[in-house]
């Protein structure tokens, strides 16, 4: 099963980075392969929000939509997306944000996935792998654009 895991230090606070990643409605503006994202439902409970979201990913002539349950846990500084429906057999994505000081944090991004169809896996596997490797970069660049780049 394909897996990707990365950890990096960024020049933004854990709170700011959590808010940026939690703002899923903006993903089509900057997330690799994300063509459309629709939040179908949202429930809040204290510092935790649970979303049901449909994401459409596209590459050339291939277009797939999948549904995830996204748990935004502000107190724990984690965001977890678990697969509900679509072209995958399995999909699990976890973000963690660890404060270092007021202006820096450590971000960890991990994703495990497996396509349901062997054909789709052959068509999209390499593309997905490359895109996931660019995710952390895309969010860091987005944070620099939204919050300003610290020298």
Residue 46: is it exposed, middle or buried by C-beta count within 10 angstroms (0-12/13-18/19+)? exposed
Tens digits of residue pLDDT in 9-45: 999 999 999 999 999 999 999 998 899 999 999 999 8
Cα four-point dihedral sign 25, 57, 87, 61? positive
Q: Residue 25 CB: number of other CB atoms within 10 A?
A: 12
Residues 90/3, Cβ–Cβ less than 8 Å: no
Distance CA 148, CA 103 (A): 12
Percent over 70 (pLDDT), the chain: 92
Average pLDDT over residues 46-50: 92
Per-residue pLDDT, 107: 95
The reported pTM is 0.89
The matching CATH number, chosen from 3.40.120.10, 3.20.20.80, 3.30.530.20, 3.90.740.10, for 3-147 is 3.30.530.20
């Amino acid at each position: 099963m394909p897996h990707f895991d990365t950890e990096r230090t960024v020049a933004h606070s854990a709170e700011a980075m959590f808010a940026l990643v939690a703002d899923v409605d903006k993903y089509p503006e900057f997330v690799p392969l994300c063509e459309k994202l629709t939040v179908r439902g949202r429930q809040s409970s204290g510092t935790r929000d649970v979303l049901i979201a449909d994401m459409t990913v596209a590459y050339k002539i291939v277009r797939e939509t999948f549904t995830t349950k996204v748990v935004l846990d502000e107190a724990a500084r984690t965001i977890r997306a678990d697969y509900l429906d679509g072209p995958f057999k399995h999909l699990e994505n976890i973000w963690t944000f660890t404060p270092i000081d007021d202006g820096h944090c450590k971000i960890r991004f991990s994703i495990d996935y497996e396509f349901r169809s062997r054909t789709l896996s052959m068509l999209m596997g390499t593309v997905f792998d490359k895109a996931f490797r660019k995710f952390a970069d895309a969010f860091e660049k987005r944070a620099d654009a939204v919050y300003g780049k610290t020298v």
